[in-house]
Structure 1
Amino acid sequence: MNDKLIDKPVSRRTFLKGTSTSLVIGMYLPMLASKSATAAQPVSSATANAFIKIHANNTVTVLSKHIEFGQGTFTGLATLAAEELDADWSQIRAEHAPADVKLYVNSLFGIQGTGGSTAIASSYLTMRKAGAHAKQWLKQAAAKLWQVPVERLEVNRGIIFDKTTGKKATFGDLVSTAAGMDSPTAEVMLKTPEQFKLIGRDLPKLDTADKSSGNAQYTMDVHLDDMVVATVAHSPKFGGTVASFDATNTLKVKGVIDVKQIATGVAVYATSTFAAIKGRRELKIQWDNSKAERRSSKVLFNDFHQSLASSGKVAGERGQIKDVLSQSENTIELSYEFPYLAHAPMEPLDVVVQHKNGAVTTWFGSQIPTIDQATIAQVFGVKPEKVQINTLLAGGSFGRRTTPDSGLALEAALVTKAFEKPVPVKLVWTREDDIQGGRYRPMAVHKVKATYEDNNILGWQQEVATQSIVANSPFAGMIQNGIDPTSVEGAHNQPYAVPHFQVNLTDMHTGVPVLWWRSVGHTHTGYVVETLIDTLLEKTNADPVDGRVALLAEYPREAQVLVSVKKMAEQAGKPAVGRMRGVAMVKSFGSYVAQIAEVSKGSDGMPKVHRVWCAVDCGVAVNPNVIRAQIEGGIGYGLDAILHGEITLADGGDVNQSNFHNYPVLRINEMPEIEVEIIKSAHAPTGVGEVGVPPIGPAVANAWRRLTGQQITRLPFAKSINT
């Protein structure tokens, strides 16, 4: 197999077939073998390659090139390596890899970074190969130590043994010998699926124990000698800048050390977080809002609607849509509104930076180390390799830490540089800073018109107005022919067999900073496609599941999850009186997810979601327990967004929401009972972290329409129902 094919996107990757022979992999793997002139002396650990360290205490550390912020990356990547290493799961540990794009590139991005549900998809063969190489390395060490042919040795659950003599050794027993040997670079044999012992099992997550005991370290837990804590006062309007400020009262606050103006606002330095926040409250700042975004959400929505008076750029089309629309008598026309959404992770943003002796050291949950490293280096005028990023666990992200301009790391570097002392500085954002600080899921407006005759869907025209996430960023190259694919994904390529079809995009420009939000464009395109197709099927007297399946003749995996989820719901019996079920299917990040939601009308007039059945096809299920957890979490996250989620701008451009009291998250009493079925698959593994989000909104909306007759086209539900 060609070296360069190892981590290509799933659609271009050849997956290991279930055959009677093992797969031979011969490709480049970064090796970091630690040679030692005193190899005969005991050593505490040895490095097999860039991803695996073997320790004398018989533990194995797997280095994760993807950040762990609750999505199970540590566990998933370690499972892949441990499978081929033939380690016992009890000896496996995981930690973050350092920032080094040459060793730890995400080949789907071209940089080191986490996002787009790519951790397992981009590393499936790489991590398995790392484990296989490490196993061969240990076998060679045992062969050297025992003076026997390596072919006589086998490995099982962390024990290497000689099939002829019965001699045994643990991995730890071989560390001193292996430390003086080169890692093997020859071809290695990977297991067939029938030989898997760990892949496909419900293994316990590696980070659960430390998180449960409080031993897990987050950025807020970092306390260094002489460390200073800083907060930054930002303009309440996006695009506002500092005209002048008075820090007289701030400097009187106990614990406040200094105040500095930086490019993003005014930084307050103190001996504690509390003192920094208290000092910031005392600042008197005059803001220059001459270039600020001052439109309200109402005005912005109106501008978005007005932009759709003329068609945008064609993102996808087939057939003769204009002719069909002009000739058809049966049409449906709908307009949809989607508000800005905040990510609202449990852990607000924070970074620790120290600039000393021409080098920079950082501690934080870095989601894109390559860009963060380059940005910090530029601020301090050093080479990127002089910036050490210690990636820590993060308490969620949902896209928040993937700023293309490295906004958080940039501000932390600016704050530290302005302080002009070689001490560590911890930048802390409060939740109010984060909720009101922008980087939202973009606002979007859709206008759709569909036609049907004789129980057949004939035409579909969809106009989308939204703001590009990647424009004017390092990822701007994603835009082709004026189309940001994240703005129309799931719409311009929706799978239903509608003969006459067109999707157009109008790119809107606002001063509100936007960002990838969990499942990105699918959050609004999936809602529109699945509620409209459901309405059309109802108009054409088709069953909501069977009708979809009939339109998916060329898409068997989409059809399969629909058939499976229907069976799941039917096995639960008919819904109780006063309840209705709705279905939706969305393919995103290479995975296929169908959901059925059972809904009633609550005492407050809002939907009460009682149960959700979900079928997911994400290729090989590396750890089913993690997959189920991510789907369940995605359903809760998506349900919160469609019921309550909304960031609004007041007249003048100030953000109305600030914390969980007015940007509510789903409460435990609102969480439905969820059943997840993972479709057995031999396809390459695909995304899981985001794919549970898109279908839940339209599934609930479709159930609600069938229950009440009300078509919800303006989100959140709370706004449509209560106004």
Structure 2
Amino acid sequence: MNARLNPSRRNFLKATATLGAGLVVAFVVPGAKRFAQAAPGEAGAVADGFVPNAFLRVAPDDTVTVLIAHSEMGQGVWTTLAMLVAEELDADWTKLRVEHAPAAPPYAHTAFGMQMTGGSTTTWSEFDRYRQAGATARALLVAAAASKFGVPVAQVRTDKGIAIAGDQRARYGELAAAAALLTAPAKVALKDPKDWKLIGHPTKRLDTPEKITGRAQFGMDVQFDGLLTALVARAPVFGGSVKSFDATAAKAVPGVRNVVQVPSGVAVVADHYWAAKLGRDALKIEWDLGPNAALDTPALREQFRTLALTDGTPAAQGGDAKAALSKAARTLEAEYHVPYLAHAPMEPLNCTVKVDGEGCDIWTGTQFQTLDQQVAAKILGLAPEQVRIHTTFLGGAFGRRATPSSDFVSEAVQVAKAAGAPVKTVWTREDDIRGGYYRPMYLQQARIALDDAGKPIAWHHVLVGQSILAGSPFEAAMVKNGIDATSVEGVADSPYIKDLTDHRIELHSPRTGIPVLWWRSVGHSYNGFVMESLVDELAHAAKQDPVEYRRALLQKHPRHLAALNLVADKAGWGSPLPQGQARGVAVHESFGSFIAQVAEVSIDRTPGTHHPIRVHRVVCAIDCGIAVNPEGVRAQMESGIAFGLGAALHSALTFKEGRVQESNFHDYVVLRMDEMPKIEVHIVPSTEKMGGAGEPGTPPIAPAVANALFALTGQRLRELPLRLPAENANV
């Protein structure tokens, strides 16, 4: 993600000319690129004297519209980023409106240089930029008010969208046109944190009314006259291709308009979804299954185990771990395994494409606007600015709508191009589960030497699993010395390992032909499970309390320790539980945030229960630095825990003869409503460097549950999803 964009002033104005009336703001974020400034009265001025701008506009009716450079996929950025603007603008919160920004250079990520949403980066990456946008707009409005009132600027104060000087008052809407004619200051002062009225205060989400009233538009909701619907028949094996096909029966289905071949398969284009579905079912296709027709999960696992016994590429090392282990009087050895996982968002993939003489319009829920725009432009032979991305709400994503290949968007563009008509390409749930880009399968082996007190003194750790960056446009920039950092994150930089004199972390990155991708919390999703389970194993080997053992190991890591101490206190660690219940703990840092969780678990003895492991309560503590919207942070912890519990208890993808065996929620199971535990979230008061909230809640939950099960049954479960041996199912 090292691409850099260089927007010109003219292109900025062209790209934002459709945004409507607004107030021009220009500003510079330290460490980020300069953004274009529109001169008063230039390009795009409309009758009321307003011109478009990058991040906000003030309308005559006093509404303040904030343009969100990132995608809203349930994580709450519509609210968080609007809070940053409103805080510095002194806006009336009831007048705030939010829109997704178009795909345009001014909205490039301040760290990655492309417009995108991911990595739990939105809030910290925009913390300065959006506050400066609000502060700059306020400065212009104050200057306009001072001129109107005939007083010095210093005598004007603002409150809830009103400029005030003595007994004179003017609403922002009344001042916006005059403010738009002024030159923006080169530098603005931001509020002292002690003066914040919004930041740090629990705030209700702005997208909630949109969603509960049905006004919110998701990609699947897009509809207009002349729009057709397509489903694509794809090879049943990854890497397969069409040898030949007979569309006679498909074309006979009422409502089917066309059948076209595209690079990914054969598309049936119809008046509506059901006609396209029946038409696709009627296709007769002969497939060339390609090189992956023998893929088999048990065989892959054995291949990974064989690789683990050989020397891998060093990802982190110090001293001589192998020598130290050979001399150790006491060692712990363990093997862990996690499966392939689908993202399975509630809204399956979809993308609407309309190509006309002026370019191409694309409506979709995407995390990668810039890449999608570039890929679509290349397919159609257009300039990127001729491709207009309309970002809708995302009905979940978890990484799946951020593919480096822009797979579902490029496919939809190919379908519309071949069909010669506007088309919405829709994936069924089965297409989604079997369509690839999975969280990779991993096998890990660890050998750890312990001293007489039970503390680790040497650590050798081998990871075997696919790189999510290999073969992608990001490989050259992000894979260093053969190491995909996302494969080993949470292990190579673990506080338990990096302080040891003797340690060695090795990585094998086999290529299997199965397309893989980041999945909520990426490498931390499996490495958090492995590391926090291993530390629990060490604690029990040392015959020490798991919390006290971690406290001793984390003395040099105060943010880990603060989260651990808070969660232990709030969970009542060490206090009695009802008969048949036990607690487990885990603490893990990811995406700049430090999360500790305690899970309370029992085993359901009810005959015929679909899963015997019951999680009753989860207590979570998070240090994410400044929590802009504590309510949003709590919601994301709850979401991450629920997502991680589904993977901990149920979810797995398996291959047989190259084919994915699971197809829908009946066999690719996620967490059910009746399995949702009581969740309590506590935020560590912190002014430390900001981290993320969307993903860090997921990694600790699986090990917390596994560790509780060990405390309850004495059985150490080293594989996900967690499965109790038959003899313990009725404990």
Superposition TM-score, scaled by structure 2 size: 0.92
SS in 2 for 1:508: coil
**1: distance between equivalents of 2:690 and 2:127?**
7
Choose the corresponding residue for 2:135, options 132, 136, 143. Answer: 132
Q: What SS does structure 2 have at the residue aligned with 1:242? A: strand
Structure 2 counterpart of 1:640 = 646
Alignment partners' CA distance in 1, 2:620 and 2:524: 17
Which of residues 628, 631, 646 in structure 2 aligns to 1:622? 628
**Residue 403, structure 1, aligned to residue 407, structure 2:** no
Which residue of structure 2 aligns with residue 201 of structure 1?
A: 201
Give the C-alpha shift of residue 272 in structure 1: 0.4
Cα displacement string for residues 332-390 of structure 1 (whole angstroms, at most 9, x for unaligned residues): 21111110000010100111111111411111112111100000000001111111101
Q: Which amino acid aligns with 2:706?
A: A
Q: How does 1:638-717 map to 2 (within 5 A)?
A: 638-650=644-656, 652-717=657-722
8 Å contact from structure 2 (residues 459, 503) kept in 1: yes
Could you tell me which residue of structure 2 aligns to residue 244 of structure 1?
A: 244
Give the Å deviation of 1:290: 2.8
Residue 620 of structure 1: how far off its partner (Å) = 0.2
Aligned partner (choices 40, 55, 62) of residue 58 of structure 1: 62
Alignment correspondent of 1:161: 164
Structure 2, unaligned runs of 5 or more: 5-27
Q: Could you tell me which amino acid in structure 2 is paired with residue 439 of structure 1?
A: Y
Q: How does 1:376-395 map to 2 (within 5 A)?
A: 376-395=376-395
* Identical pairs, percent: 45
Alpha-carbon offset, residue 643 of structure 1? 0.5
Deviation at 1:42, TM superposition (A): 6.7
Q: How far is the alpha carbon of 1:37 from its aligned partner?
A: 8.5
Sort the Cα spacing of 1:428 and 1:333 in 2 relative to 1 into closer, same or farther, 3 A.
Answer: same
Distance 1:216 1:715 in 2: 36
1:122 deviates by 0.7
Q: Which amino acid aligns with 1:692?
A: G
1:43–1:175 Cα contact (<8 Å) kept? no
The within-5 A match list for 1:560-639 is 560-570=562-572, 573-603=575-605, 604=609, 606-639=612-645
Q: How far off is 1:554 after superposition?
A: 1.8
CA shift, 1:45, in A, is: 5.4
SS in 2 for 1:534: helix
Which digits, 9 at most, give the CA deviation of each residue in 1:321-340, with x for residues without a partner?
11221112322211111100
**Preserved CA contact (<8 Å) 1:400 1:517:** yes
> C-alpha separation between the residues in 2 aligned to 1:699 and 1:34?
56
Q: Which amino acid is the alignment partner of residue 697 of structure 1?
A: A
CA shift, 1:160, in A, is 0.7
Distance change in 2, residues 1:248/1:38 (3 Å): closer
The 1:86/1:720 distance shift into structure 2, 3 A limit, reads farther
Aligned ranges 1:337-352 → 2 under 5 Å: 337-352=337-352
Whole-Å separation in 1 of the counterparts to 2:458 and 2:721? 28
Distance change (3 Å), C-alpha of 1:297 and 1:176: same
Question: How many residues are matched?
Answer: 693
Does 1:441 pair with 2:439?
Answer: yes
Partner of 1:234: 234
CA distance in 2, matches of 1:522, 1:37: 49
Corresponding residue of 2:17: none
> What are the superposed Cα offsets for residues 149-171 of structure 1, whole Å, 9 maximum, x if unpaired?
22221111111111xx3211111
Q: Is the 8 A contact 1:124 1:685 kept in 2?
A: no
- Counterpart in the other structure of 1:15: none
Does the residue aligned with 1:514 lie in a helix, a strand or coil?
Answer: coil
Kept in 2: contact 1:145–1:177 (CA 8 A): no
Corresponding residue for residue 20 of structure 1: none
Q: Which amino acid aligns with 1:503?
A: I
Is the partner of 1:409 in helix, strand or coil?
helix
Paired residue type of 1:82: A
Which residue number corresponds to residue 254 of structure 1? 254
Measure how far apart 1:46 and its partner are.
Answer: 5.0
Report the counterpart of residue 462 of structure 1 in structure 2.
461
Query: What is the alpha-carbon distance in structure 2 between the residues aligned to residue 322 and residue 292 of structure 1?
Result: 37
1:100 aligned partner: 104
1:427 alignment counterpart: 425
Contact 2:459–2:504 under 8 Å retained in 1: yes
Rounded to whole Å, the distance in 2 between the matches of 1:317 and 1:212 is 52
Matched, 1:74 2:78: yes
Q: Distance in 2 between matches of 1:230 and 1:44?
A: 44
Distance 2:44 2:382 in 1: 36
Q: Is the 8 A contact 1:358 1:382 kept in 2?
A: no
Counterparts in 2 of 1:337 and 1:41: CA distance versus 1, 3 Å: closer
Q: 1:39 to 1:268 in 2, by over 3 A?
A: closer
1:473 corresponds to: 472
Specify the SS of the correspondent of 1:549.
Answer: helix
Show the counterpart of 2:491.
491
- Give CA deviations for 1:231-265 in whole Å, capped at 9, x if unaligned: 10001111110000000000000000000111000
In structure 1, the residue matched to 2:18 is: none
Contact 2:717-2:723 within 8 A present in 1 as well: no
**3-state secondary structure, aligned to 1:693:** coil
- CA 1:29–1:199: 2 relative to 1, 3 Å: farther
Residues 482-504 of structure 1 deviation map (CA, whole Å, 9 limit, x = unaligned): 00000000001100244422110
Q: In the TM superposition, what is the alpha-carbon distance from 1:542 to its structure 2 partner?
A: 2.2
The letter of the residue matching 2:531 is V
Is contact 2:44-2:51 (8 Å) kept? no
TM-score (norm 1): 0.93
Q: CA RMSD in A?
A: 2.1
Name the SS of the counterpart of 1:367 in structure 2.
coil
- Secondary structure, in 3 states, of the residue corresponding to 2:72? coil
**Structure 1 residue aligned with 2:547:** 545
The offset of 1:626, in angstroms, is 0.5
SS in 1 for 2:316: strand
Kindly tell me: are residues 238 and 97 of structure 1, through their superposed partners in 2, closer, same or farther at Cα, counting changes over 3 Å? same
Aligned counterparts of 1:115 and 1:428: Cα–Cα separation in 2? 23
Residue 333 of structure 1 aligns with an amino acid whose one-letter code is: E
The 10-residue stretch of structure 1 (617-626 or 469-478) with the greater mean CA deviation from structure 2:
469-478
**Aligned-partner residue type, residue 160 of structure 2:** R
- 2:236–2:289 Cα contact (<8 Å) kept: no
> What pairs up with 1:159-308 in 2 under 5 angstroms?
159-162=162-165, 165-182=166-183, 184-308=184-308
Is the Cα contact below 8 Å between 2:41 and 2:51 reproduced in 1?
no
Q: What's the CA shift string for 1:263-312, capped at 9, x where partnerless?
A: 00001100001111111000000000133353111111111111112020
For structure 1, which runs of at least 5 residues remain unmatched after alignment? 5-23
Residue aligned with 1:189, SS: coil
- For 1:332 and 1:36, the matched residues in 2 are separated by 72
